[in-house]
Every structure is written in structure tokens, then in C-alpha cells.
Amino acid sequence: MEAELRAIASPRRREILRLVWDRERSSGEIAGHFDVSWPAISQNLRVLEEAGLVQTRRHGQSRFYRANRSRLGPLRSVLTKMWEDDLDRLAALAEAEAKRSR
């Protein structure tokens, strides 16, 4: 789970995941959405691939990427649980503060 969390820590990698969520895209098409060098995009794609968050298919010289939704489901569950726990703690703190100020 650590590799997946590290992979989505980058806003650019999260944007790449959004691009490949609904359909497969070539590496060139993905790179065209960003104003950075090809090596920077390639590195981000490699991180996502190593974390198992994208699936890669080769066709000739081209590589195509698609979100690996089966790996993203468990990650979503972990993140949801973390948010819920944080919100529960925040609510408890707010209630305690409200009681103190009465």
C-alpha cells in the first residue's frame, strides 16, 4: 500500500490517472496534456506502473496506459477510512470545545 500512496502523492500522477481512468491512452497523448519534458512524464508513468496503478500495453513502438481499477479500489477504501477517522476526531474536538465554552 505504501507504493500506491507514494504514487498518488504527486498531483501530476493523479492527473495522469484521471486521464487514463475511462480509456486507454498512448504515452504521447498523455504527455500532450502537460507542459513538461517527455522524461518527466515517462518517470511519472513508470512510478504509476511500478505501484500497479496503471496497466501498460505495447503495440509496436507505442505504449498505451489504462488505470488499473482493481488496484485502486483497496486504495480508495484506505483513504476513505483515513478521512472518516480524521473527521470523527475533528467532530469530537469540536464537541469538546463547544462543551467547554458553554
**Structure confidence by residue, pLDDT tens digits, 52-97:** 999 999 999 999 999 998 887 777 787 788 778 777 787 888 888 8
2-100: CATH topology:
Arc Repressor Mutant, subunit A (1.10.10)
**Higher pLDDT pick, 4 / 62:** 62
The answer for residues whose C-beta is within 8 angstroms of residue 80's C-beta and 6 or more apart is none
Side chain identity, residue 34: F
For the chain, domain boundaries: 2-100
**Interval 28-63: pLDDT, tens:** 999 999 999 999 999 999 999 999 999 999 999 999
User: How far is C-alpha 47 from the chain's CA centre?
Assistant: 11
pLDDT value for 101: 82
Q: How far, CA to CA in Å, does 5 sit from each of 13, 68, 93?
A: 11, 14, 27
Q: Is 52:30 a contact under the CB 8 Å cutoff?
A: no
Query: pTM to 2 decimals?
Result: 0.74
User: In DSSP terms, which residues pair with 62 in a beta bridge?
Assistant: 59
